[in-house]
Chains A and B, each alone.
Chain A
Amino acid sequence: MKSRFLFPHWFRYLGLALFLIHIPIVMFKKEMGFNMHDEPVSDHLFNSHHIFFMTTTLLMAIGLFFIAFAKERIEDEQIFKLRLDSLQWAIYVNYILLVVSLILSKDTEHILFLNLLVPLVFFIVRFRWKIFQNNRLINKEEGQA
């Protein structure tokens, strides 16, 4: 089956690497001299804080994007349907959270961040979970046979 708009399979590992790289960088931002809340932030667009935030966020978002939209080893129509179902779920969850957080919070920066993360993370988790379930059923059948 021809699948459009998907990355090659190995992009999944590239994405995972990018995502894992971003975690220690964010964890040790204080040690690296990027404490965003203590110092006055300058209005200049490309100040060091902005660049730090941009780089880590892009690392994370691109990493998740690659994980989410890399081809499976065998990309067939059943996987395609799972993908589509999971995307629909992800959009639902994202908008429900978005609406709730808009009502309950004024912290637009974090709402934006949440909006960036939730669809991809939820999609990946739901998609992987469904694949895991399919594999488990196969193993169970094999156990019976």
Chain B
Amino acid sequence: MKNNIRVERAIKNITQAELAELIGVSRQTINTIESNRYVPSTVLALKIARVFGKPVEDIFSLDNED
């Protein structure tokens, strides 16, 4: 699964730590999601999407391997 959290963060001008605090996870978790080492649960994906005020599909998309 691919995501563009890094881009969205840049647009909203918030750091990994700030995003982590907004959704109640650790900064490491945001980092592992951004670098595609961890696939978040649906709940977490929805929370991230809510922070950016966009539908989940705008932030997460399926990869060829999925």
Seen from chain B, the residues whose Cβ lies within 8 Å of a Cβ on chain A are: 16, 24-29, 31-33, 35, 38, 40-41, 44
Contact = CB atoms under 8 A, between A and B. Distances in A.
Contacts of A76: 24-26, 29
Interface residues of A, number: 15
Contacts of A138: 16, 27-28, 31
Contacts, number: 37
Interface of A: 1, 72-74, 76-79, 81, 131, 134-135, 137-138, 141
Contacts of B25: 74, 76-78
Given A76-B29, A77-B29, A79-B26, A137 B35 contact: yes
B30 to A, nearest CB: 9
Nearest to A77: B41
A77 B44 CA distance: 9
Contacts of A74: 25-26
A135 B28 CA distance: 7
B24 A78 contact: no
Contacts of A135: 28
Contacts of B40: 77-78
Contacts of B38: 78, 81
3 shortest A-B CB distances, which residue pairs?
A74-B26, A78-B29, A76-B25
A132 to B, nearest CB: 11
A84 to B, nearest CB: 13
B32 A134 contact: yes
B26 A78 contact: yes
